[in-house]
Protein backbone atom coordinates (compact mmCIF):
# COMPACT_ATOMS: atom_id res chain seq x y z
CA UNK A 1 0.00 0.00 0.00
CA UNK A 2 2.78 2.40 0.95
CA UNK A 3 4.67 1.41 -2.19
CA UNK A 4 1.65 2.30 -4.30
CA UNK A 5 1.42 5.73 -2.69
CA UNK A 6 5.15 6.25 -3.29
CA UNK A 7 4.70 5.38 -6.97
CA UNK A 8 1.75 7.78 -7.33
CA UNK A 9 3.69 10.52 -5.59
CA UNK A 10 6.82 9.99 -7.66
CA UNK A 11 5.25 9.71 -11.13
CA UNK A 12 2.80 12.32 -12.35
CA UNK A 13 1.89 10.33 -15.53
CA UNK A 14 1.00 7.25 -13.47
CA UNK A 15 -0.99 9.39 -11.03
CA UNK A 16 -2.82 11.11 -13.90
CA UNK A 17 -3.65 7.73 -15.50
CA UNK A 18 -4.96 6.46 -12.15
CA UNK A 19 -7.15 9.56 -11.84
CA UNK A 20 -8.43 9.00 -15.39
CA UNK A 21 -9.46 5.40 -14.62
CA UNK A 22 -11.11 6.53 -11.39
CA UNK A 23 -12.85 9.23 -13.45
CA UNK A 24 -14.29 6.64 -15.86
CA UNK A 25 -15.76 4.66 -12.97
CA UNK A 26 -17.15 7.73 -11.19
CA UNK A 27 -18.49 8.97 -14.55
CA UNK A 28 -20.58 5.82 -14.73
CA UNK A 29 -22.06 6.69 -11.32
CA UNK A 30 -22.59 10.32 -12.40
CA UNK A 31 -24.82 9.02 -15.20
CA UNK A 32 -27.04 7.55 -12.48
CA UNK A 33 -26.97 10.82 -10.50
CA UNK A 34 -27.86 12.91 -13.59
CA UNK A 35 -30.77 10.63 -14.43
CA UNK A 36 -32.13 9.82 -10.98
CA UNK A 37 -31.55 12.84 -8.75
CA UNK A 38 -34.11 15.05 -10.58
CA UNK A 39 -36.67 12.22 -10.36
CA UNK A 40 -35.96 11.70 -6.65
CA UNK A 41 -36.37 15.42 -5.98
CA UNK A 42 -39.60 15.58 -7.96
CA UNK A 43 -41.04 12.66 -5.97
CA UNK A 44 -40.08 14.39 -2.72
CA UNK A 45 -41.63 17.70 -3.78
CA UNK A 46 -44.80 15.91 -4.82
CA UNK A 47 -45.07 14.30 -1.37
CA UNK A 48 -44.35 17.63 0.32
CA UNK A 49 -47.10 19.31 -1.69
CA UNK A 50 -49.61 16.58 -0.80
CA UNK A 51 -48.75 16.90 2.87
CA UNK A 52 -49.01 20.69 2.71
CA UNK A 53 -52.74 20.58 2.01
CA UNK A 54 -53.50 17.42 3.98
CA UNK A 55 -55.05 17.59 7.46
CA UNK A 56 -52.52 17.67 10.28
CA UNK A 57 -51.18 14.31 11.34
CA UNK A 58 -51.49 12.78 7.86
CA UNK A 59 -48.68 10.33 7.21
CA UNK A 60 -46.55 10.65 4.10
CA UNK A 61 -47.81 8.26 1.41
CA UNK A 62 -45.50 5.29 1.06
CA UNK A 63 -43.75 5.02 -2.28
CA UNK A 64 -41.54 2.26 -3.69
CA UNK A 65 -37.89 2.81 -2.85
CA UNK A 66 -36.08 4.85 -5.47
CA UNK A 67 -32.66 6.35 -4.85
CA UNK A 68 -29.15 6.41 -6.30
CA UNK A 69 -28.47 2.84 -5.21
CA UNK A 70 -31.86 1.16 -5.75
CA UNK A 71 -33.45 -0.24 -7.90
CA UNK A 72 -30.56 -1.64 -9.99
CA UNK A 73 -30.21 -0.20 -13.51
CA UNK A 74 -32.35 -1.80 -16.19
CA UNK A 75 -32.62 -1.44 -19.96
CA UNK A 76 -35.38 1.05 -20.82
CA UNK A 77 -36.20 -1.07 -23.88
CA UNK A 78 -36.83 -4.49 -22.37
CA UNK A 79 -36.51 -3.93 -18.62
CA UNK A 80 -33.80 -6.54 -18.21
CA UNK A 81 -31.28 -5.86 -15.49
CA UNK A 82 -27.89 -4.57 -16.65
CA UNK A 83 -25.21 -7.03 -15.60
CA UNK A 84 -21.93 -5.91 -14.05
CA UNK A 85 -20.02 -7.15 -17.09
CA UNK A 86 -22.15 -4.88 -19.32
CA UNK A 87 -21.63 -1.92 -17.02
CA UNK A 88 -17.89 -1.39 -17.49
CA UNK A 89 -17.38 2.28 -18.41
CA UNK A 90 -16.99 2.91 -22.18
CA UNK A 91 -15.64 -0.62 -22.87
CA UNK A 92 -19.04 -2.32 -22.50
CA UNK A 93 -20.60 0.22 -24.84
CA UNK A 94 -17.98 -0.47 -27.51
CA UNK A 95 -18.14 -4.23 -26.95
CA UNK A 96 -21.97 -4.28 -27.20
CA UNK A 97 -21.80 -1.89 -30.18
CA UNK A 98 -24.10 0.52 -28.35
CA UNK A 99 -26.99 -1.94 -28.03
CA UNK A 100 -28.69 -3.83 -25.19
CA UNK A 101 -27.44 -7.40 -24.92
CA UNK A 102 -30.99 -8.76 -24.57
CA UNK A 103 -33.23 -6.75 -26.88
CA UNK A 104 -30.64 -4.96 -29.05
CA UNK A 105 -32.34 -1.60 -28.53
CA UNK A 106 -29.81 1.24 -28.79
CA UNK A 107 -28.10 2.60 -25.65
CA UNK A 108 -27.80 6.38 -25.57
CA UNK A 109 -24.38 7.66 -26.66
CA UNK A 110 -24.60 9.99 -23.72
CA UNK A 111 -23.60 7.33 -21.17
CA UNK A 112 -20.17 6.57 -22.61
CA UNK A 113 -19.75 10.30 -23.41
CA UNK A 114 -20.21 11.31 -19.76
CA UNK A 115 -17.83 8.52 -18.71
CA UNK A 116 -15.19 9.58 -21.24
CA UNK A 117 -15.54 13.26 -20.35
CA UNK A 118 -15.21 12.47 -16.64
CA UNK A 119 -12.20 10.20 -17.23
CA UNK A 120 -10.48 12.84 -19.35
CA UNK A 121 -11.20 15.70 -16.94
CA UNK A 122 -9.97 13.65 -13.97
CA UNK A 123 -6.80 12.72 -15.86
CA UNK A 124 -6.16 16.43 -16.48
CA UNK A 125 -6.68 17.15 -12.77
CA UNK A 126 -4.11 14.48 -11.85
CA UNK A 127 -1.66 15.85 -14.40
CA UNK A 128 -2.06 19.50 -13.42
CA UNK A 129 -2.05 19.15 -9.63
CA UNK A 130 0.00 16.01 -9.00
CA UNK A 131 -0.42 13.71 -6.00
CA UNK A 132 -1.91 15.49 -2.98
CA UNK A 133 -4.94 17.10 -1.35
CA UNK A 134 -5.27 19.62 -4.15
CA UNK A 135 -5.92 16.84 -6.66
CA UNK A 136 -8.53 15.26 -4.36
CA UNK A 137 -10.36 18.58 -4.12
CA UNK A 138 -9.99 19.06 -7.89
CA UNK A 139 -11.56 15.63 -8.50
CA UNK A 140 -14.50 16.34 -6.19
CA UNK A 141 -15.03 19.68 -7.92
CA UNK A 142 -14.96 17.97 -11.33
CA UNK A 143 -17.53 15.34 -10.32
CA UNK A 144 -19.94 17.91 -8.92
CA UNK A 145 -19.62 20.14 -11.98
CA UNK A 146 -20.26 17.28 -14.42
CA UNK A 147 -23.35 16.17 -12.49
CA UNK A 148 -24.65 19.75 -12.29
CA UNK A 149 -24.04 20.45 -15.99
CA UNK A 150 -25.79 17.21 -16.99
CA UNK A 151 -28.82 17.86 -14.79
CA UNK A 152 -29.10 21.46 -15.97
CA UNK A 153 -28.99 20.35 -19.63
CA UNK A 154 -31.79 17.87 -18.96
CA UNK A 155 -34.01 19.82 -16.61
CA UNK A 156 -32.86 23.47 -16.68
CA UNK A 157 -32.40 23.18 -12.95
CA UNK A 158 -29.34 23.15 -10.67
CA UNK A 159 -30.32 21.32 -7.44
CA UNK A 160 -29.33 22.80 -4.07
CA UNK A 161 -28.49 19.22 -3.13
CA UNK A 162 -25.35 19.62 -5.28
CA UNK A 163 -24.58 23.36 -5.42
CA UNK A 164 -24.64 23.87 -1.63
CA UNK A 165 -22.37 20.93 -0.64
CA UNK A 166 -19.95 22.11 -3.34
CA UNK A 167 -20.00 25.56 -1.76
CA UNK A 168 -19.32 24.15 1.74
CA UNK A 169 -16.56 22.05 0.26
CA UNK A 170 -14.82 25.12 -1.21
CA UNK A 171 -15.15 27.10 2.03
CA UNK A 172 -13.89 24.22 4.18
CA UNK A 173 -10.95 23.61 1.89
CA UNK A 174 -9.84 27.22 2.24
CA UNK A 175 -10.03 26.82 6.04
CA UNK A 176 -8.17 23.53 6.13
CA UNK A 177 -5.36 24.45 3.77
CA UNK A 178 -5.33 28.23 3.80
CA UNK A 179 -5.19 28.08 0.02
CA UNK A 180 -7.33 27.20 -2.98
CA UNK A 181 -6.51 24.87 -5.80
CA UNK A 182 -4.12 25.64 -8.62
CA UNK A 183 -2.61 29.07 -8.94
CA UNK A 184 -5.15 30.82 -6.77
CA UNK A 185 -4.12 30.77 -3.11
CA UNK A 186 -7.38 31.48 -1.37
CA UNK A 187 -7.59 32.33 2.31
CA UNK A 188 -10.85 31.68 4.18
CA UNK A 189 -11.57 35.41 3.96
CA UNK A 190 -11.15 35.41 0.19
CA UNK A 191 -13.26 32.27 -0.14
CA UNK A 192 -16.12 33.79 1.88
CA UNK A 193 -15.99 37.06 -0.05
CA UNK A 194 -15.68 35.10 -3.31
CA UNK A 195 -18.79 33.05 -2.66
CA UNK A 196 -20.91 35.98 -1.48
CA UNK A 197 -19.74 38.14 -4.39
CA UNK A 198 -20.38 35.27 -6.82
CA UNK A 199 -23.96 34.94 -5.65
CA UNK A 200 -24.64 38.68 -5.54
CA UNK A 201 -23.08 39.49 -8.92
CA UNK A 202 -25.38 37.15 -10.88
CA UNK A 203 -28.29 38.01 -8.58
CA UNK A 204 -27.97 41.70 -9.52
CA UNK A 205 -27.56 40.98 -13.24
CA UNK A 206 -30.65 38.76 -13.03
CA UNK A 207 -32.80 41.47 -11.46
CA UNK A 208 -31.47 44.21 -13.73
CA UNK A 209 -32.16 42.01 -16.77
CA UNK A 210 -35.66 41.23 -15.53
CA UNK A 211 -36.45 44.90 -14.91
CA UNK A 212 -35.20 45.86 -18.37
CA UNK A 213 -36.61 43.04 -20.48
CA UNK A 214 -39.28 41.42 -18.32
CA UNK A 215 -37.55 38.09 -18.93
CA UNK A 216 -35.41 35.84 -16.79
CA UNK A 217 -31.92 35.24 -18.18
CA UNK A 218 -30.95 32.56 -15.70
CA UNK A 219 -31.99 31.24 -12.34
CA UNK A 220 -31.11 31.02 -8.66
CA UNK A 221 -29.20 27.79 -9.20
CA UNK A 222 -26.75 29.72 -11.37
CA UNK A 223 -26.10 32.20 -8.53
CA UNK A 224 -25.37 29.34 -6.16
CA UNK A 225 -23.08 27.62 -8.65
CA UNK A 226 -21.05 30.81 -9.13
CA UNK A 227 -20.98 31.21 -5.33
CA UNK A 228 -19.48 27.72 -5.08
CA UNK A 229 -16.86 28.53 -7.73
CA UNK A 230 -16.05 31.74 -5.85
CA UNK A 231 -15.46 29.69 -2.71
CA UNK A 232 -12.80 27.67 -4.55
CA UNK A 233 -11.08 30.50 -6.39
CA UNK A 234 -11.87 33.66 -4.43
CA UNK A 235 -13.42 36.80 -5.88
CA UNK A 236 -10.64 37.26 -8.45
CA UNK A 237 -11.91 34.40 -10.61
CA UNK A 238 -15.48 35.67 -10.80
CA UNK A 239 -15.18 38.14 -13.66
CA UNK A 240 -13.07 35.81 -15.84
CA UNK A 241 -15.58 32.99 -15.22
CA UNK A 242 -18.57 35.20 -16.05
CA UNK A 243 -16.95 36.58 -19.22
CA UNK A 244 -15.78 33.19 -20.45
CA UNK A 245 -19.11 31.48 -19.77
CA UNK A 246 -21.16 34.32 -21.28
CA UNK A 247 -18.98 34.32 -24.40
CA UNK A 248 -19.20 30.54 -24.78
CA UNK A 249 -22.95 30.64 -24.13
CA UNK A 250 -23.48 33.36 -26.74
CA UNK A 251 -21.40 31.53 -29.37
CA UNK A 252 -23.19 28.22 -28.78
CA UNK A 253 -26.61 29.89 -28.63
CA UNK A 254 -26.14 31.88 -31.84
CA UNK A 255 -24.74 28.80 -33.62
CA UNK A 256 -27.70 26.65 -32.55
CA UNK A 257 -30.22 29.29 -33.64
CA UNK A 258 -28.37 29.82 -36.95
CA UNK A 259 -28.39 26.08 -37.60
CA UNK A 260 -32.12 26.03 -36.87
CA UNK A 261 -31.55 23.59 -34.04
CA UNK A 262 -32.97 25.87 -31.40
CA UNK A 263 -35.93 28.24 -31.13
CA UNK A 264 -35.07 31.90 -30.53
CA UNK A 265 -37.07 32.03 -27.30
CA UNK A 266 -36.28 28.54 -26.09
CA UNK A 267 -34.07 28.92 -23.01
CA UNK A 268 -30.51 27.59 -23.11
CA UNK A 269 -29.30 26.51 -19.66
CA UNK A 270 -26.44 28.69 -18.40
CA UNK A 271 -25.21 26.21 -15.75
CA UNK A 272 -23.15 24.03 -18.14
CA UNK A 273 -21.27 27.09 -19.41
CA UNK A 274 -20.62 28.29 -15.86
CA UNK A 275 -19.40 24.82 -14.93
CA UNK A 276 -17.04 24.56 -17.91
CA UNK A 277 -15.71 28.12 -17.53
CA UNK A 278 -15.22 27.69 -13.78
CA UNK A 279 -13.42 24.41 -14.21
CA UNK A 280 -11.13 25.79 -16.94
CA UNK A 281 -10.27 28.94 -14.98
CA UNK A 282 -9.50 26.96 -11.80
CA UNK A 283 -7.46 24.29 -13.57
CA UNK A 284 -5.67 26.40 -16.21
CA UNK A 285 -5.38 29.84 -14.59
CA UNK A 286 -2.03 30.65 -16.18
CA UNK A 287 -3.14 29.99 -19.72
CA UNK A 288 -6.63 31.44 -19.46
CA UNK A 289 -6.54 34.26 -16.97
CA UNK A 290 -3.08 35.49 -15.99
CA UNK A 291 -2.23 37.12 -19.34
CA UNK A 292 -5.05 39.63 -19.15
CA UNK A 293 -6.34 39.65 -15.59
CA UNK A 294 -4.18 41.54 -13.08
CA UNK A 295 -5.49 40.02 -9.84
CA UNK A 296 -4.35 36.40 -10.14
CA UNK A 297 -1.33 35.18 -8.24
ZN1 LIG B 1 -32.99 -4.27 -23.55
74-90 pLDDT tens trace:
998 898 998 888 889 99
Distance between CA atoms of residues 172 and 183, nearest Å: 18
H/E stretch holding 136: helix 133-155
Q: Over the chain, what is the mean pLDDT?
A: 89
Residues 220 and 276 in one domain: yes
C-alpha of residue 134 to centroid of ligand 1, in Å: 41
pLDDT in tens, 243-259: 999 999 889 888 888 88
**Residue 116: which pLDDT band, with cuts at 50, 70 and 90?**
very high
Please, is 20 exposed, middle or buried when counting C-beta atoms within 10 Å of its C-beta (0-12, 13-18, 19+)? buried
Chain length of the chain: 297
Say which residue, 285 or 116, is predicted with more confidence.
Answer: 116
Q: Which domain holds residue 16?
A: 1-131
Residues 164 and 214 in one domain: yes
Q: Which residues have a beta carbon within 5 Å of ligand 1, which is an ion?
A: 75, 77-78, 100, 102-103
pLDDT of residue 179: 57
Average pLDDT score over residue span 172-198: 80
Final residue in a domain of this structure, among 82, 115, 131: 131
Neighbours of 78 (CB within 10 A): 12
C-alpha of residue 143 to centroid of ligand 1, in Å: 28
Residues 182 and 68 in one domain: no
Q: Are 107 and 82 in contact (CB under 8 A)?
A: no
Residues 22 and 160 in one domain: no
Residues 99 and 141 in one domain: no
Residues 124 and 215 in one domain: no
C-alpha of residue 106 to centroid of ligand 1, in Å: 8
C-alpha of residue 25 to centroid of ligand 1, in Å: 22
Residues 104 and 187 in one domain: no
C-alpha of residue 148 to centroid of ligand 1, in Å: 28
C-alpha of residue 76 to centroid of ligand 1, in Å: 6
Task: Please tell me the pTM assigned to this model.
Answer: 0.92
Final residue in a domain of this structure, among 90, 116, 131: 131
Final residue in a domain of this structure, among 131, 147, 182: 131
Residues 100 and 191 in one domain: no
C-alpha of residue 113 to centroid of ligand 1, in Å: 20
Q: DSSP letters along 208-269, please?
A: HHHHHHSS-SS-HHHHHHHHHHHHHH-GGGHHHHHHHHHHHHHHHHHHHHHTTSS-TTS---
Residues 152 and 291 in one domain: yes
Residues 165 and 77 in one domain: no
C-alpha of residue 72 to centroid of ligand 1, in Å: 14
Residues 124 and 161 in one domain: no
Indicate the number of domains in the chain. Answer: 2
Amino acid sequence: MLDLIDVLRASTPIFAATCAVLGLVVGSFLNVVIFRLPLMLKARWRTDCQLLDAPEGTEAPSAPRYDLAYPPSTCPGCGSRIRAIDNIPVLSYVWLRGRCRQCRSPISLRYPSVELLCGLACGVIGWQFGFGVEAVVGLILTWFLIALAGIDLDTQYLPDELTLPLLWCGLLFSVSSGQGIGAFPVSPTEAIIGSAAGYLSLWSVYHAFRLLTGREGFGYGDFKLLAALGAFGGWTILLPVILLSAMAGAIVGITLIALGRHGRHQPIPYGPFLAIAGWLVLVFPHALVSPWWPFGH
